Amino acid sequence: MAAGGLFATRAGGIAVQMLIAPLLARDWSLRAQVNGGGIKGAGAVIGQMERGLAFASVLTGNVAGIAVLVAAKSILRFSDAQKSRKIAEYVIIGTMASVGWAVLTGIATRMLVLGLLPGGIPGLLLP
């Protein structure tokens, strides 16, 4: 489960970064908007926490937590989305890729753990 968590959070960051890099390389104005104004590295930390929460939600079977996560991020980013359509699309692509990676990793980890321990882990992961 720890390896799944690392894969969801750390490797997921690399995968999402690789997906988004071509978007930033093609559009210098988007790159300037994304890189300006915020705390340096905050986006990466937010992404790791986002993937960690989505991964944990899948493992515990609390998939409603993923909907709450996406809704909360949408509300927090609403003002940014109103300022620039490019930023809004960038955030949506990044969020969907990030959460998707974590959900798929969570499903794979859950299937692997339940395959090895058919009874699950009492108090943590049940079939």
Cβ-based burial of 99 (10 A; exposed 0-12, middle 13-18, buried ≥19): buried
- Confidence tier at 127 by pLDDT (50, 70, 90): confident
In order, the DSSP letters of 42-71 are HHHHHHHHHHHHHHHHHHHT-THHHHHHHH
Mean pLDDT, to the nearest integer, of 45-72?
92
Q: Which residue has the higher pLDDT, 1 or 39?
A: 1
Residues listed for the chain: 127
For the cut 70, the answer to whether the pLDDT of residue 36 exceeds it is no
Task: Return the pLDDT at 126.
Answer: 77
* Residues whose CB is less than 8 angstroms from the CB of residue 106 and which lie 6 or more positions away in sequence, other chains included: 4, 8, 54, 55, 56, 57, 58, 59
